């Protein structure tokens, strides 16, 4: 996947600064969309051969007469001539103006569908490419004009030409996010069984496209009620998990798509016990180990694209009530998971700090109810690395302190391993923060430390702990706890 992507990216024609600016802009747009719960993205597969670009002419916008003419030419004559007409049409359809002209022309979609289902292979392909351009449009009228073609796109998912299937899948993926109206047509047309049949394809490109289309379907607002149940009832979950199993056959591009699919399913909380029964936890756990190994080997692999959804899946799965009752191998007990997680945390620290909270979320869920994992944190000497994350941000600090509380609350045997050591000095630092939540969590941890390791109190006093506490004695949210700690310290 990664090399394929690099082969298709535009060479840098503008400066790095410009690229950064564009990226920041795009990021801002995406953030806004996400906050409005309108985050959708389409994908465009465009295979223009180099010589077309070399001709120097950017494809022109086509007018109504030209579109009509090309459609006529596409229906009669030698296969070559017809194909060329469609190629010209396709290039014109790269422009929103041509797209509008096309959909407003009576019978145009009918003709295109006719060509899509014709008995001439190259015409089919070109017609599908035209359809794909239309599906990518940001204007709903254009995308919705493609609806007459969907039953055929689905039919072709069980054909055998992998390039064609890939194109159909990306087109479907684009149409899916267009509107609930589109999905209300695709679901009764059998998109779920069609995908379930198609996922058995051995072609990597097909699988990646399928993962993309499925992820689009799963992001729909109505997915938890209307889509996810039928997906869980199909054979898709088993196949998805198979495609996520680490090993020589694991393809990163495919895995990324299906990891996101799993995430959308799991965080919708429809029926996660089913996934656990299928071995999701052990598969994803092994995948975590695999990623931690990969991170050590290669430099910049874009691994965070895969790590993010996997971490989310495991974290959410760990909250399932079934965890208590389900048998040994279905649970996650292997302490290598903790080791892998820290290697990933280090990777995030260097490459993608915004993912640190997600990693720490997993650490919290691993340690909250598990004396064994808390013991691993201690025996593998991971407390100090954890403390190194404190300065990153307030959110990260709170989570680090929460994990430490998970350890400390288990009693004296655990606190003995937390002090003496770097913990107390770190806490004296966090008490100086102004963020209420950070300080609040520090107070909780101090309380546990004092309770189970009273010798720490003296040192706390010697290091001006009381003054640090005093800073917050007016803060409403902290007052009671500050006072209680001061009392404990003075009596101790």
Q: Is 491 exposed, middle or buried (0-12, 13-18, 19+ CB in 10 A)?
A: exposed
By the rule CB under 8 A, 314 interacts with another protein: no
327 binds another protein (CB under 8 A): no
Does position 20 bind another protein by CB under 8 A?
Answer: no
Contact between 276 and another protein per CB under 8 A? no
Residues numbered 342-381 forming contacts with another protein, rule: CB under 8 A: 342-343, 345-346, 349-350, 352, 354-355, 357-358, 361, 364-365, 367-376, 378-381
Among 452, 453, 460, 489, binds another protein (CB under 8 A): 452
Between 369 and 464, whose beta carbon lies closer to another protein? 369
- Which residue, 432, 430, 444, is CA-closest to 470? 432
Asked whether position 470 contacts another protein by CB under 8 A, the answer is no
Write the CA distances from 176 to 43, 149, 150, 225, 296, integer angstroms.
12, 13, 10, 16, 38
Element at 296 (helix H, strand E): helix 280-297
Nearer to another protein, 41 or 462 (CB): 41
**Sequence-distant (≥ 6) Cβ neighbours of residue 410 within 8 angstroms:** 371, 374
Instruction: Select from 241-249, 382-390, 427-435, 463-471 the region that touches another protein (CB under 8 A).
Output: 382-390
Contact 184, 221 (CB under 8 A): no
Q: In this complex, which beta carbon is closest to another protein, that of residue 324 or of residue 462? A: 324
Least distance (Å) between residue 414 CB and another protein: 6
Query: In this complex, which beta carbon is closest to another protein, that of residue 213 or of residue 462?
Result: 213
Segment 386 to 425, residues that bind another protein, using CB under 8 A: 388-389, 405-406, 409-414, 417
Q: What is the rounded distance in angstroms from the CA atom of residue 165 to the CA atom of residue 197?
A: 12
Query: Which of these ranges, 41-49, 137-145, 242-250, 456-464, lies near another protein under the rule CB under 8 A?
Result: 41-49
- Whole-angstrom CA distances from 175 to 150, 190, 213, 464 are 9, 15, 9, 63
* DSSP, res 393: -
Tell me which of 131, 196, 210, 423 binds another protein, using CB under 8 A.
Answer: 196
Q: Out of 124, 283, 397, 430, name the contact with another protein by CB under 8 A.
A: 124
**Closer residue to another protein, CB minimum distance, 63 or 148:** 148
Least CB distance to another protein at residue 361 (A): 6
Per-residue three-class SS string for 24-86: HHHHHHHHHHHHCCCCCCCCCCCCCCHHHHHCCCCCCCCCHHHHHHHHHHCCCCCHHHHHHHH
Q: Which of residues 212-271 bind another protein (CB under 8 A)?
A: 212, 224, 235, 260, 264, 267-269
340 binds another protein (CB under 8 A): yes
User: Between residues 258 and 260, which has the closer beta carbon with respect to another protein?
Assistant: 260
How many whole angstroms separate alpha carbon 449 and alpha carbon 405? 9
Alpha-carbon span 165 to 210, nearest angstrom: 9
Query: Is omega for the bond preceding 317 within 30 degrees of 0, making it cis?
Result: no
């Amino acid at each position: 996947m990664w090399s394929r992507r690099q082969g298709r990216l535009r060479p840098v024609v503008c400066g790095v600064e410009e690229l950064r600016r564009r990226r920041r802009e795009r990021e801002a747009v995406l953030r806004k969309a996400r906050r409005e719960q309108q985050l959708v993205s389409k994908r465009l597969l465009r295979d223009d051969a180099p010589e077309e670009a070399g001709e120097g002419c950017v494809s022109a916008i086509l007018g109504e007469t030209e579109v009509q003419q090309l459609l006529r030419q596409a229906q009669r004559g030698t296969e070559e001539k017809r194909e060329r007409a469609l190629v010209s049409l396709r290039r014109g359809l790269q422009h929103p103006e041509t797209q509008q002209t096309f959909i407003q022309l009576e019978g145009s979609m009918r003709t295109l569908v006719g060509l899509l289902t014709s008995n001439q292979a190259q015409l089919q392909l070109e017609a599908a490419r035209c359809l794909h351009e239309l599906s990518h449009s940001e204007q709903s009228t254009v995308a919705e004009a493609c609806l007459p073609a969907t039953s055929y796109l689905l039919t072709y998912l069980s054909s055998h030409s992998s390039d064609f299937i890939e194109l159909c899948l990306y087109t479907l993926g684009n149409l899916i996010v267009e509107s609930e109206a589109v999905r209300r047509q695709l679901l009764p047309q059998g998109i779920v069984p069609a995908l379930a049949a198609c996922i058995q394809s051995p072609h990597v490109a097909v699988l990646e496209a399928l993962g993309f289309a499925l992820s689009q379907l799963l992001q729909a607002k109505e997915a938890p009620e209307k889509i996810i149940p039928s997906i869980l009832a199909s054979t898709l979950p088993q196949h998805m998990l198979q495609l996520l199993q680490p090993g020589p056959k694991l393809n990163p591009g495919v895995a990324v798509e299906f990891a996101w699919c799993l995430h959308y399913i799991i965080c919708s909380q429809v029926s996660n016990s089913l996934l656990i029964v299928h071995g999701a936890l052990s598969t994803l756990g092994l995948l975590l180990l695999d990623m931690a190994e990969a991170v050590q080997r290669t430099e910049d692999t874009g691994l965070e694209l895969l790590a993010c959804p996997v971490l989310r899946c495991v974290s959410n799965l760990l909250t399932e009530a079934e965890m208590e009752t389900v048998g040994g191998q279905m649970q996650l007990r292997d302490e290598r998971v903790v080791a892998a997680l820290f290697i990933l945390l280090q990777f995030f620290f260097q490459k993608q700090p915004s993912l640190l909270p997600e990693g720490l979320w997993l650490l919290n869920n691993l340690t909250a109810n598990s004396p064994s994992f808390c013991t691993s944190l201690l025996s593998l000497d991971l407390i100090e690395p954890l403390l190194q994350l404190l300065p990153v941000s307030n959110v990260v600090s709170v989570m680090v302190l929460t994990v430490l509380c998970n350890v400390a609350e288990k009693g004296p045997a655990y606190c003995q391993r937390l002090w003496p050591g770097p913990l107390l000095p770190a806490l004296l630092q966090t008490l100086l923060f102004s963020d209420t939540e950070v300080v609040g969590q520090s107070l909780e941890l101090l309380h546990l430390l004092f309770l189970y390791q009273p010798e720490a109190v003296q040192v706390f006093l010697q290091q001006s702990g009381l003054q640090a506490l005093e800073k917050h004695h007016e803060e409403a949210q902290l007052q009671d706890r500050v006072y209680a700690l001061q009392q404990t310290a003075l009596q101790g």
